[in-house]
A = this chain, B = another copy of it.
């Protein structure tokens, strides 16, 4: 055990930090903050930012060089993330593709698919959204009803015709591509007969309806598919094996890649600063939150430690497995605790919006945190997974 970074890792951190300091859009530089991702203008600005990162080969540091990465290890990825959050850099418009789809393309994609999709994704020339949930298949993904019917000959060179409805697609309003599961064998039982498709959002028959969230912004969308024709080379993995292909993606979503600990340690750092500030104004009132502040900060740090612990194991060749569900439970509760605690510290100011009618950073973060226990598999589902697959309890 050695919890120090190597000189090479320290040097990498220094490079990332310097680049971000020079390039992150900011008020001071007159380049930021970027407009909201939920506007066309903001979406475009975020693409420009990701392209700049891509040009500096910082967009996807852990990918192979041929696809725009540096072939860096997981630890370097964690360092990158720590620096990214430390720099308060823009939300990544490409994250659904990079974190959820890319691992699946690396595992199941053909060399042609990898070459076709990965670099465009890493530079945000093509932004992806996830076509996962359906109105009647939220927690119960196996209840998916959207279907694809065969057109043309079996084997190579044919196509599929997709129809159905997907919902809760983050970035759906402006994304270029969508990935998702469709039922190719309507006679197969729940988990079978599904296939994983890659669909351009400008294909004829695709309609998008943005959905406004709690904060009024259209963070996600419904996507309607009416006889959308998709060629065979836009199938990822084997026809009919979509469920197992998708589970690989789901595991990355729940596991390491999406919820970098830096997000929570950064927020915990701001919480400590808020506490220190409020403690100067009213030490008695702030003191009532002391224990909750300590808990929240510890929970964020424990998540960071647990990530290093897990990454060391993964680097040793052990996959993450159902422990990913424990991570999901921990980070989602931690995120809520950090933000609830901040609102408590803010007291009567907590309810107030900014002058432009938008929630300020803490209230906005609280609203965002509330979604944590719901998406990517509700926490109820995760507890079932932990109980059944880690503790070995009998299935219901």
A binding-site residues for B, Cβ under 8 Å: 287-288, 291
Contacts and interface: CB of A to CB of B under 8 A. Distances in A.
Nearest 3 Cβ contacts at the A-B interface:
A288-B291, A287-B287, A291-B291
Contacts of A288: 291
Contacts of A291: 288, 291
Contacts of A287: 287
A288 B291 CA distance: 8
A287 B286 CA distance: 13
Nearest to A396: B396
Q: Provide the main secondary structure of the chain A interface.
A: helix
Nearest to A292: B291
3 contacts: A287-B287, A288-B291, A291-B291
Nearest to A290: B288
A387 to B, nearest CB: 14
A219 B287 CA distance: 43
Nearest to A289: B291
A287 B288 CA distance: 9
A384 to B, nearest CB: 14
A250 B322 CA distance: 42
A57 to B, nearest CB: 50
A241 to B, nearest CB: 33
A170 to B, nearest CB: 31
A291 B287 CA distance: 11
A288 B289 CA distance: 10
A288 B292 CA distance: 11
A287 to B, nearest CB: 8
A101 to B, nearest CB: 37
A73 to B, nearest CB: 42
A288 to B, nearest CB: 7
A142 B137 CA distance: 37
Nearest to A284: B287
A289 to B, nearest CB: 10
A274 to B, nearest CB: 19
Nearest to A287: B287
A163 to B, nearest CB: 32
A384 B24 CA distance: 53
A341 B278 CA distance: 27
A291 B288 CA distance: 8
A296 to B, nearest CB: 16
A149 B230 CA distance: 74
A243 to B, nearest CB: 27
A288 B287 CA distance: 9
A33 B294 CA distance: 44
A285 to B, nearest CB: 12
A344 to B, nearest CB: 11
Nearest to A288: B291
A288 B288 CA distance: 9
A260 to B, nearest CB: 33
